[in-house]
Structure 1
Amino acid sequence: MMVTFVSQCEKNALKKTRRVLDAFADRIGDNTWQTLITQEGLLAVKKLLRKTASKSTAVSCYGLWGKGISLMKWVGCR
């Protein structure tokens, strides 16, 4: 499945989030990543983001379906 991650993190949370997402996806903007990933891989990303999350962490995940249709899969923040 094709997913897009969007980050609105600040301060140190931005560094931690970038480190996790860069390991799994290609950066397509300053705070945006996109990749093909399995459901298990998506759960691994979510688990790692929760492990490194702080008060300034905010990441959303969108699944892309068909012609320009995207559905929000989850939002991770603390």
Structure 2
Amino acid sequence: MTLYTAMPLELVLDGIQNEPGPFVEVTIQGVTMQLQPVAPGIGRIVRLLAAPLSCYLLPEYLPGRTICFHPTSELPLMPERSDFTM
């Protein structure tokens, strides 16, 4: 590969060995997408993995857009039956 640039090579190749952050695959309304978690329950769309063709043109599913999701690994804890004493 030939790279023509006026920038120093150290700046151009800085971080090339770093792997991208952790990704999460979620399915929302029939669209399977790869997200990069930003905050609990919020992720940034990296790419669509499986979706109807019409979804690729919708602005709601553009890469870089943030979307709300609920991770399946974190289930809400239900109180024990004995906690309801009167």
Q: What TM-score comes out, normalization by structure 2 length?
A: 0.21
**Greater helix fraction, Structure 1 or Structure 2:** 1
Max Rg structure: 2
Larger relative contact order (Cα-Cα within 8 Å, sequence gap ≥ 6): 1
**Greater strand fraction, Structure 1 or Structure 2:** 1
Q: What TM-score comes out, normalization by structure 1 length?
A: 0.22
